[in-house]
Structure 1
Amino acid sequence: MDYPPWLPQPVNTHQGRLLAIARCVHQLHYREVHHLEKGRVRTFDNLCVGPLQLAAEVLHRSGFTEYSDEIQRFSSFVCDPADFETVAKAKAARDLDRELVRTAVIRLSEEGFGATEEIDWLARQLRAEG
């Protein structure tokens, strides 16, 4: 399947994969919830399950998010989507294990928790590379 022509073409690089994970989580999994003390807050609940937990770890270690609880289930973005490219170019993101990021993209695509077309396209490319 070709990538939809109306969407920006994904970039199959380390930085491009990090951006795809951040955009996917922000678009599909970042939700407003009611916090008992803070009121309405936006958070990413990784449900403590494989692919979402791996995405949360990648986003945290690369500097996109901070965990907001002790068990590292909930996290919040520390930047707006307009700043995602800046974070993806930073040292923490550049130094993050490439295989970890690659695996996170593939697992987000495969395990049925919701992935963007960008993640699905990148995962197909990565699987084809072997």
Structure 2
Amino acid sequence: AIPNHPPTRQAHVPAMPTSKLTQLPPPDAVAVLTVLSACAETQNFDLAYHRVLKAVQQGRFGPLVGPPTEAMYNLVLTACTDPAQAQALIREMRLTRRRRGPGVVVPPSLWSYTRAMV
């Protein structure tokens, strides 16, 4: 306490009530595509690839998102400004053909190759 000063009065802040408005549902594919679109718009490849696409590949977003889609890869390619990284991502897409299982094959399309060259 500071001498000769009355103690400061702390404002009472009520706790936020827990409601359905404060609890977010798990993300779905639309939410992931929205985040990737924002990354593409701002050319934030690191966030798009290392945080979002890798999480989708590892299934960390749950069943509502599913495996990566061509649209997801293409948005990551749009976010990429380094030709070497774009080439590596195209290579990664081509290598998905070798994996077996439902929903894991994402071959690059003409649009994917075009995005990698821009």
TM-score, normalised with respect to structure 1: 0.26
Structure with the greater relative contact order (CA < 8 A, sep ≥ 6): 1 or 2? 1
Q: Whose strand fraction is larger, Structure 1's or Structure 2's?
A: 1
TM-score (norm 2): 0.28
